[in-house]
Chain A
Amino acid sequence: MIPYTVAVEALLVIGNQLRRLVETVQDVVLFCVTVLKSAFRPPFYRHEILEQVHFALVGSLGIVMFSSLVAGQALAIQLGRELTRTGTKSELGHMMVISVVRALGPVLTGMVVASRMSAGITAELGAMRSSDQIDAMVAFGTDPIKRLVAPRMIGLLIALPVLTILGDALGVIGGGFVGLAYHLPLQSYYNGVYKYLTPSNLLVGMIKPFFFAVLIATVACWKGFTSAGGAKGVGVSTTHSVVISSVGILVTDFICTKLIFRLLQW
């Protein structure tokens, strides 16, 4: 039998943790809304936006292309074996479009970009916070949301969809080469690809990167802005930022898929 006071104390601790969680979620949502409002209103920091697009797009291009190609081939090996066994290997192109364009491509690209960009953004903003550079901006009359956060969000909103398209393309192309190993001609493979590369399938895959971009920028910038405790604090914030962004992408993927399926009445 648990004593009454221990039970009350445990409930109080849980209650406090829940309250703090709700407060944090509320703060993050407000931060996200503020950034989105700020990002699409002038003045625009064009130089910073271009810098962030370059950092996110060109900087992540190699790793996204390599990961997508390898992941696409691994997936095609799995699917190729099963389809060959059931005598439907001509469906490989179809299955690759559904798997890569709708699901794997956006998530894989999002995860790769999240791990790279959220670490970089949180570490940079956290260091600026701990060395008073963000306070200095405010003191000199600059809105740090507009100067630091909005360009990062716009940069990711531009870069992530482009990277996803390239990643999807390489994943599907990689599958075609694997199909050759299962004696599936490229022409037959690409016929399946083109047939199922429909606006609906593209919508399912291409709407997600925009949500992922907002998620990565919000989490990374929020963790950087609220970083405290010097170098150790920045390290902790950076770790949290990568973990939250990565898990957040999986959760967002699930919610987006569910909503889009409902929207398309699938």
Chain B
Amino acid sequence: MIEFRNVDFWIGDRQILDDVSFTVPRAQTKVILGPSGSGKSTILRLLIGLWKPDAGAILVDGEDVTRVTPVRLQQIRRRMGIVFQQGALFDSMTVGENVGYTLLEDGDIEEDQIEGTVRSYLSLVGLNTDLVDRMPEELSGGMQRRVAIARALASRDPDILLYDEPTTGLDPQSAERITDLILRLRDTMGKTAIMVTHDIPDAFKVADRITVVDHGRVAFEGTPVELTAADTPFIGEFLAPFRKSVAAASQRVSTRGRRAGDSGLNLGGTS
């Protein structure tokens, strides 16, 4: 389980996160939702220890990642795979070297075996295995994002996956493939996941629970159904431009019957 407990974070004299608390139970997908610049991506950077919070605790299975030794932090990171905004693929390496990056770094496995593993992960994310020798810039944005997911999965088979705006800038079809893949990974492999996004339909599609962040503060925490029922001014204002999309996404979730609780969804609007 992942837990943020009263986390504060400052950059210079600007407060980025203010008393942020939430939990992510094992094998669930938490979506951190909010407008651009609200501090969403900071949450992931704090979780993997790229930055240190000024106050509060960040627990992974009860262990505070802000207080562990660098060696222990490395071990905890090995349990996580992260998909950065825009993929962050290493542009001096081929697709195959990107996906097999951690395996090559560890140096414990023969190169033939690594290539086999790389191909299997490329297949898993729905990519042609012949792409291994291509350079990242030769791929479309959607394909790059799927390579980034394959790289995250291949990184020592992590049980926690972190997605930072995985669908931003993609066409609807590519975005749909990515969110389908995220759902598949949760449902078939039982991965715990945190997805940061400002895209409300995507959030409703993949989330078990949603935390809405506004100006670094948690403005809402609950299920997608509870979010649609929330009537605070910020939530209303935030959801208003997307209400049609929310309705459509929620309707889709409801129709698929993915969760029993979703069947009573009432948006007060039509899709």
Contacts and interface: CB of A to CB of B under 8 A. Distances in A.
A91 interface: no
Given A132-B88, A133-B91, A139 B82 contact: yes
B189 interface: no
Interface in B24-70: 45, 48, 50
Nearest to B156: A141
A135 B77 contact: no
Interface of B: 45, 48, 50, 74, 77-78, 80, 82, 84-86, 88-91, 101-102, 105, 107, 151, 155
Contacts of A142: 105
Contact of B86 (A132, A137, A139, A140): A132
A138 interface: yes
A135 B50 contact: yes
Contacts of A133: 88-91
B101 A140 contact: yes
Nearest to B162: A139
Nearest to A142: B105
A140 B50 contact: no
Nearest to A135: B50
B139 to A, nearest CB: 15
B80 A139 contact: yes
A200 interface: no
A132 B48 CA distance: 14
B84 A135 contact: yes
Nearest to A43: B107
A132 B86 CA distance: 9
Contact of B77 (A128, A132, A139): A139
Given A132-B86, A135-B88, A139-B77, 18 more contacts: A128-B91, A131-B88, A131-B91, A133-B88, A133-B90, A133-B91, A135-B84, A137-B90, A138-B48, A139-B48, A139-B80, A140-B77, A140-B102, A141-B74, A141-B78, A141-B102, A141-B105, A142-B105
A128 B86 CA distance: 12
B105 A140 contact: yes
8 contacts: A132-B84, A133-B89, A133-B91, A135-B88, A139-B80, A139-B82, A141-B74, A141-B102
Contacts of B155: 140-141
Contacts of B74: 141
A140 B105 CA distance: 9
Contacts of A135: 45, 50, 84, 88
A3 to B, nearest CB: 28
Contacts, number: 43
Contacts of B105: 140-142
Name which of A135, A136, A137, A139 has the most chain B CB atoms within 10 A of its CB: A139
A263 to B, nearest CB: 39
Contacts of B151: 140
Among A43, A141, A142, find the residue whose CB has the most chain B CB atoms closer than 10 A. A141
Interface in A217-259: none
Contacts of B50: 135, 138-139
Interface string A57-99: 0000000000000000000000000000000000000000000
A221 B84 CA distance: 23
Given A132-B84, A133-B91, A141 B77 contact: yes
Interface in A118-152: 128, 131-133, 135-142
B141 to A, nearest CB: 13
A135 B45 CA distance: 9
A136 B90 contact: yes
Contacts of B91: 128, 131, 133
Contacts of A132: 84-86, 88
Interface string A40-51: 000100000000
A131 B77 CA distance: 20
A136 B88 contact: yes
A131 B164 CA distance: 13
B66 to A, nearest CB: 16
Given A141-B74, A141-B77, A136 B84 contact: yes
Contacts of A137: 90
A261 B91 CA distance: 47
Nearest to B148: A136
Nearest to A138: B50
Contacts of B107: 43
A136 B78 contact: no
The 3 closest A-B pairs by CB, nearest first: A132-B88, A136-B88, A132-B84
B60 to A, nearest CB: 14
A265 to B, nearest CB: 46
A41 B74 CA distance: 19
Contacts of A140: 77, 101-102, 105, 151, 155
Most chain A beta-carbon contacts within 10 A, residue among B50, B88, B101, B151: B88
A131 B102 CA distance: 19
Nearest to B80: A139
A251 B78 CA distance: 44
